[in-house]
Amino acid sequence: MSFAQRVPEYRARADQSLARWLPAAEVAPTRLHEALRYSVLGAGKRIRPLLSYATGEILGLEPSRCDAPAVAVELIHAYSLVHDDLPAMDDDDLRRGRPTTHVAYDEATALLVGDALQSLAFQILAEDEACLAGPALRMRMLAELAVASGSRGMVGGQALDLRAEGRALDQAEIERIYRLKTGRLIEAAIMLPVILAGELPLSGERALRAFATQIGLAFQIRDDLLDVEGETSVIGKPGGSDERNRKATLPAVVGLEATRLRADTVYADAISALDPLGDRAEPLRWLSEFIIRRDH
Amino acid sequence: MSFAQRVPEYRARADQSLARWLPAAEVAPTRLHEALRYSVLGAGKRIRPLLSYATGEILGLEPSRCDAPAVAVELIHAYSLVHDDLPAMDDDDLRRGRPTTHVAYDEATALLVGDALQSLAFQILAEDEACLAGPALRMRMLAELAVASGSRGMVGGQALDLRAEGRALDQAEIERIYRLKTGRLIEAAIMLPVILAGELPLSGERALRAFATQIGLAFQIRDDLLDVEGETSVIGKPGGSDERNRKATLPAVVGLEATRLRADTVYADAISALDPLGDRAEPLRWLSEFIIRRDH
């Protein structure tokens, strides 16, 4: 059975795990908890959890051991979307085909939803028992996720992205932003199971880290192409929003054709990075193709 | 030497530790890092760090072991202020006598500052070596801080507070909000060193937990009194902002005199809770009096 056939099962695992860790909507404060669940459940491709499960498979980890890393990363991603969509940031009304959290609820609630999702991500890594990690490895996972999320990781990339609006950046500057704002958390989705596995030979760890940095960049380039090419009905948010928001994007700087070529090159680099792992790396090869071919 | 005489030294410790953990303003993204430092350094009474150091003293912990818990809690507090001050929340222009972060920078930066401060708090607990905690105790500290910060702690209290605006709540409902939005994190400031100390007898842990919940409530009641009584020049933000924001406060519901009496009662309960610890508890007794007598 190929990884492709296990994808629905892994998505269901991630969703169940998220549904279990998120407080029930009946628990006070009920409106906040309802909004937390609204913001996380019922939509989303779960690409980051899939990357964690695929990496876990390659390293011989039981899926149950990867649930916590998978959902912790997904919650950081989910909080960043809720805050990104706020009027002070991208001011988007639609996300994954549904009203964004501040539209469905209100701005203050969306702010608090993001804040609470971030706390929950760290709580899960600290409390989950099924990952069977000793406290020392667990601590390394926590540090990796905190650094990946923070001012020198995802949030730092968003800050650079903000500053870049309406400015003329070159390709290297834009790719640096992409590597932080999107790539760093995708890297964490792969590196948390690597840390969890513990006894990986250095060459294997290096291969996965190299893959992780390339696939994160490829992911964001693909996202930008989708924004230019996509139909609102398919991508779940209005197409062309980057242009309206005067975002510094690769298509805007080097053009559509050169961006497509760059996506192919970075994708090829990601796949090559997996060579030392041989056939075992099939799950991540499949996911990489999925990431680069997806239409939403 | 009494605890009062050591307060300036502890404040300096906390400030130095914060300055060390916050990325330098020269590190990219520079504007974000400058805003992080602006939001945290140079102002603030550092009451939460003082509570951590005082608890550490009582438990015989070297101050250096308490730096990480002290500043992790302070960073969570600092992020909550930055987000609270945003237009979507309390819309305050002044904090600690200086322009709030979104006024000094912009709303999007303030949003990201808060997000990055939260990540940094968890990073510090995961990475700090000076606390000399084994990974198992460190993990318990992380879980405590995550729960105290999240949707069933501080953020949950803020959500209830939002919902309460303009509604008629009774005293018990208001105090429940206070215990979450302010009390829960103050409790964590005390409980992190308790966890760190590890081998405390259960009676001592119970006494400190009981003290922590009462002093957190007393703190918020005092804050509300200051908002009603205070001059902008002394409290560092405009007086009467709770009334303008139609906040559900104890003075609004039971009146000023009954609120003062309630503050005294809760303060007395906090002090009584320390009885089992005898003379050793002097640092927390002194801080409690400072909290309840402060004029800003």
Which residue does chain B place closest to A116, by CA atoms?
Answer: B150
Global pTM? 0.95
Q: Which of B119, B124, B192 to mutate to test the interface with A (most CBs of A within 10 A)?
A: B119
CA distance B242 to chain A (A): 16
**What's the pLDDT band for A233 if we cut at 50, 70, 90?**
low
Percent of chain A at pLDDT exceeding 90? 81
Contacts of B114 in chain A (CB under 8 A): 115
CB A273 within 8 Å of CB A287: no
Residue ranges of chain B with per-residue pLDDT less than 70 = 231-239
> What is the rounded average pLDDT of the residues A99-120?
98
Which residue does chain A place closest to B27, by CA atoms?
Answer: A152
Who contacts A154 (Cβ-Cβ below 8 Å, separation ≥6)? Answer: A76, A80, A148, A180, A181, A182, A184, A185
Predicted pLDDT of residue A234: 57
Residue with tokens 């990974």: B135
Backbone dihedral angles phi then psi of residue B99, each to the nearest 5 degrees: -55, 140
CB A219 within 8 Å of CB A50: no
Residue B248 token pair: 């559900």
Q: How far apart are CA A251 and CA A111, in angstroms?
A: 31
CA distance A132 to chain B (A): 13
Q: Please give the single-letter amino acid code of residue B102.
A: H
* Half-sphere CA count of B255, side-chain side, radius 13 A: 3
Q: How far apart are CA B205 and CA B195, in angstroms?
A: 9
* Closest to B249 (Cα-Cα) out of B181, B147, B186: B181
Q: A131-175 pLDDT, tens per residue? A: 988 888 999 999 999 999 999 999 999 999 999 987 889 999 999
What SS3 class is residue B261?
A: helix
Positive or negative, the Cα torsion across A234, A236, A239, A242? Answer: negative
Question: Could you give the ipTM of this predicted complex?
Answer: 0.95
Q: A28-62 pLDDT, tens per residue? A: 999 999 999 999 998 889 999 999 999 999 999 99
Q: What DSSP designation does A118 have?
A: H
Who contacts B27 (Cβ-Cβ below 8 Å, separation ≥6)? Answer: A152, B33
Residue A239 reports pLDDT greater than 80: no
Which residue does chain A place closest to B91, by CA atoms?
Answer: A108
Contacts of B151 in chain A (CB under 8 A): 23, 29, 32-33, 36, 112, 116, 119-120
User: Which of A123, A155, A156 is nearest residue B150 as measured by Cβ atoms?
Assistant: A123
Q: How far apart are CA A286 and CA B225, in angstroms?
A: 61
Cβ pairs bridging A and B (under 8 Å): 159
Q: What average pLDDT is seen over chain A?
A: 93
Strand partners, B94: B99
Backbone dihedral angles phi then psi of residue A15, each to the nearest 5 degrees: -65, -45
Backbone dihedral angles phi then psi of residue A191, each to the nearest 5 degrees: -80, -25
**Helices B107-127 and A135-149 meet at what angle, rounded to 10?**
160
What SS3 class is residue B149?
A: helix
Q: Which of A115, A120, A140, A185 to mutate to test the interface with B (most CBs of B within 10 A)?
A: A115
Residue B2 token pair: 């009494």
Predicted pLDDT of residue A199: 78
Q: How far apart are CA A32 and CA A60, in angstroms?
A: 38
Are B146 and A23 inside 8 Å of each other by CB? no
Which residue does chain B place closest to A102, by CA atoms?
Answer: B88
Cα–Cα distance list, A221 to A97, A153, A154, A262 (Å): 21, 18, 16, 8
Predicted pLDDT of residue B48: 98
User: Which of B80, B89, B159 is nearest residue A32 as measured by Cβ atoms?
Assistant: B159
User: Which of A108, A160, A162 is nearest residue B89 as measured by Cβ atoms?
Assistant: A108
**What's the pLDDT band for A183 if we cut at 50, 70, 90?**
very high
Q: What DSSP designation does B99 have?
A: E
CB B163 within 8 Å of CB A31: yes
Are A162 and B109 inside 8 Å of each other by CB? yes
CA distance A142 to chain B (A): 6
Predicted pLDDT of residue A44: 87
Least confident of A102-106, A180-184, B129-133: B129-133
Are B159 and A109 inside 8 Å of each other by CB? yes
Contacts of A79 in chain B (CB under 8 A): 115
Q: CB atoms < 10 A from the CB of A253, how many? A: 15
CB A84 within 8 Å of CB A41: no
Are A152 and B114 inside 8 Å of each other by CB? no
Predicted pLDDT of residue A208: 96
Backbone dihedral angles phi then psi of residue A98, each to the nearest 5 degrees: -130, 160
Are A156 and B119 inside 8 Å of each other by CB? no
Predicted pLDDT of residue B234: 57
CATH fold for the domain made of A3-293: Farnesyl Diphosphate Synthase (1.10.600)
What SS3 class is residue A237?
A: coil
Q: What DSSP designation does B24 have?
A: P
* Closest to A211 (Cα-Cα) out of A44, A7, A51: A51
Residue B11 token pair: 């404040």
Predicted pLDDT of residue B290: 93
Q: How far apart are CA B160 and CA B175, in angstroms?
A: 11
CA distance B157 to chain A (A): 8
Positive or negative, the Cα torsion across B27, B32, B34, B36? Answer: negative
Q: Which of B155, B160, B162, B173 to mutate to test the interface with A (most CBs of A within 10 A)?
A: B155
The torsion of the CA quartet A30, A32, A36, A39, rounded to 10 degrees, works out to: 120
Are A88 and B79 inside 8 Å of each other by CB? no
Phi-psi region of B87 (alpha: psi -120 to 50; beta: other; left: phi over 0): alpha
Residue boundaries of the structural domains of chain A: 3-293
DSSP state string for B208-258: HHHHHHHHHHHHHHHHHHHHHH--HHHHSS-TTHHHHTT---HHHHH-HHH
Q: A186-205 pLDDT, tens per residue? A: 999 999 999 999 877 778 88
Predicted pLDDT of residue B147: 98
